[in-house]
Amino acid sequence: MIILLTGCAGFIGYHAARTLLAAGYQVIGIDNLNDYYDPALKRARLIGLQDIDGFRFHQLELTDHTALNAAAAGKGITHIFHLAAQAGVRYSLEAPRSYIASNITAHLNILELARHMDGIKHVVYASSSSVYGDRDGGDFRESDEVRAPASLYAATKISGEMLAESYARLYGIAQTGLRFFTVYGPLGRPDMAYYIFIDKVLRGEPMTLYAPDEMQRDFTYIDDITSVFEQVLSCPPAPQNGRAHEIYNLGNSSPMRLYDLVGAIEQACGKAAKVNIAPKQPGDVSRTFANIDKAQRDFGFNPRTPLAQGIKNCAAWYRDYADLSTS
Ligand SMILES: NC(=O)c1ccc[n+]([C@@H]2O[C@H](COP(=O)([O-])OP(=O)(O)OC[C@H]3O[C@@H](n4cnc5c(N)ncnc54)[C@H](O)[C@@H]3O)[C@@H](O)[C@H]2O)c1
């Protein structure tokens, strides 16, 4: 496999690249290194990749289809792993246009690339648990209807799935969509709650919990999802009803309360949290809960990292990264 990996300087992209390079594949990484969060962290991730055999990097903007096509030409790419996106639910209220550009226009450019380039066997792309909206009841299944996005971010992720479905039907492009559920881990995303809370607890500063009595998240450790990436990429779905396109939940399937997260962080940092409570934020959903029968059946997906262990790993990395070793 020669893999075009978008968003390689991002949190999941960096870990995906390391996993696939360790398995002996060539990875052509793309990222625009935008400043949605501190680009120094993106550059630090790239430093962790650049000396690994088989890795090449192109800094480019995916909405620029001419630049994308030029970077991909003549490299013998067989697989595309499209992880680049404008992530974050709350920021989609502030900067909606960046979501349309990076999650819809850029996704279309990836699909057009796959349509016109010879030799592409499989396109795997990131979707999100947010497609399920704000709902009560049991676990979330891939067969559930997803027509009630609670945020523009969610709407763009549903749209990405629809773009993929149309290209699977029109052009026979084999595709797999992965709905990630609150993925956390070392070198993680600074806009996510666990990252902010670890920072605040280590610095002894107060943090804000939004509607903690009703919040539950299916926190999923990064190594648990990367463990199936090689298999997902190398197994394009079999055609069904005239197209080869499947969607999988990749979540821990064990929702935890926000207070459980805070407890795990206090334990990992050896300090008590100072907590302020605030109402639920617009765009937030109360709970996420992945049914993972399908990924278990097809890829042997078996998330096994307990929240306490995963958070301990994050806090150990963050102390070092932020030079908080004496905190
Ligand atoms: N981390 C999670 O919990 C989670 C949950 C659900 C879905 N996802 C999805 O997984 C994927 C990876 O998320 P992440 O957490 O690693 O986010 P991230 O922000 O760390 O990584 C995304 C990367 O894409 C790059 N990028 C964004 N727009 C671009 C563009 N127009 N051109 C080129 N590069 C661009 C960014 O610079 C960044 O490095 C995203 O599609 C996200 O929506 C993540």
- Asked if the structure places residue 319 within a domain, the reply is no
What local confidence, expressed as pLDDT, does residue 324 receive? Answer: 78
**Along the chain (327 residues), what's the average pLDDT of each consecutive run of 10 residues?**
98 98 98 98 97 97 98 98 96 97 98 97 98 94 97 98 98 98 98 98 97 96 98 97 96 97 98 97 94 98 98 98 77
The residues, any chain, with a CB within 8 Å of residue 220's CB and separated by 6 or more, are: 180, 181, 182, 183, 184, 250, 251, 252, 290, 303
Ligand 1 centroid–CA 280 distance in Å is: 24
Query: Which atom from ligand 1 is nearest to the alpha carbon of 106?
Result: 31
- Report which protein residue has its CA nearest ligand 1's atom 13: 12
What's the burial of 116, exposed, middle or buried (CB within 10 Å: 0-12/13-18/19+)?
A: exposed
Ligand 1 centroid–CA 86 distance in Å is: 6
Q: Which domain range does residue 12 map to? A: 2-183+220-250
Encoded tokens for 204: 């002894």
Pairing, β 256-257 against β 216-217: antiparallel
What local confidence, expressed as pLDDT, does residue 136 receive? Answer: 86
Q: Which residue of 6, 8, 12 sits with most ligand 1 atoms within 8 Å of its CB, as the best mutation to test the pocket? A: 12
Ligand 1 centroid–CA 129 distance in Å is: 14
- Asked if the structure places residue 91 within a domain, the reply is yes
What local confidence, expressed as pLDDT, does residue 323 receive? Answer: 87
What's the predicted TM-score (pTM) here? 0.98
Which of these, 83, 320, 318, lies nearest to 190 by C-alpha position? Answer: 318
Which residue, chain included where needed, has tokens 């709970």?
Answer: 287
- Asked if the structure places residue 285 within a domain, the reply is no
- Report which protein residue has its CA nearest ligand 1's atom 37: 33
- Asked if the structure places residue 98 within a domain, the reply is yes
Number of domains in the chain: 1
Ligand 1 centroid–CA 220 distance in Å is: 16
Q: How far apart are the C-alpha atoms of 27 and 80, rounded to whole Å? A: 10
Active site annotation includes 184: no
CB atoms within 10 A of CB 207: 18
Encoded tokens for 94: 């502030």
| Distances in whole angstroms, Cα of residue 203 to Cα of each of 102, 323, 326 | 34, 11, 10
- Asked if the structure places residue 29 within a domain, the reply is yes
- Asked if the structure places residue 235 within a domain, the reply is yes
Pocket of ligand 1 (CB under 6 A): 7, 9-13, 31-34, 42, 61-63, 83-87, 102, 106, 126, 128, 180, 182-183, 189
Q: What is the CATH number of the domain that holds 8?
A: 3.40.50.720
Query: Which atom from ligand 1 is nearest to the alpha carbon of 220?
Result: 3
Q: Do 181 and 248 meet the contact criterion of CB atoms below 8 Å apart?
A: no
From its phi and psi, is residue 5 left (phi > 0), alpha (psi between -120 and 50) or beta?
beta
- Asked if the structure places residue 326 within a domain, the reply is no
Q: Do 104 and 159 meet the contact criterion of CB atoms below 8 Å apart?
A: yes
What local confidence, expressed as pLDDT, does residue 85 receive? Answer: 98
Q: Do 107 and 160 meet the contact criterion of CB atoms below 8 Å apart?
A: yes
Q: Do 55 and 17 meet the contact criterion of CB atoms below 8 Å apart?
A: yes
- Asked if the structure places residue 278 within a domain, the reply is no
The residues, any chain, with a CB within 8 Å of residue 193's CB and separated by 6 or more, are: 258, 261
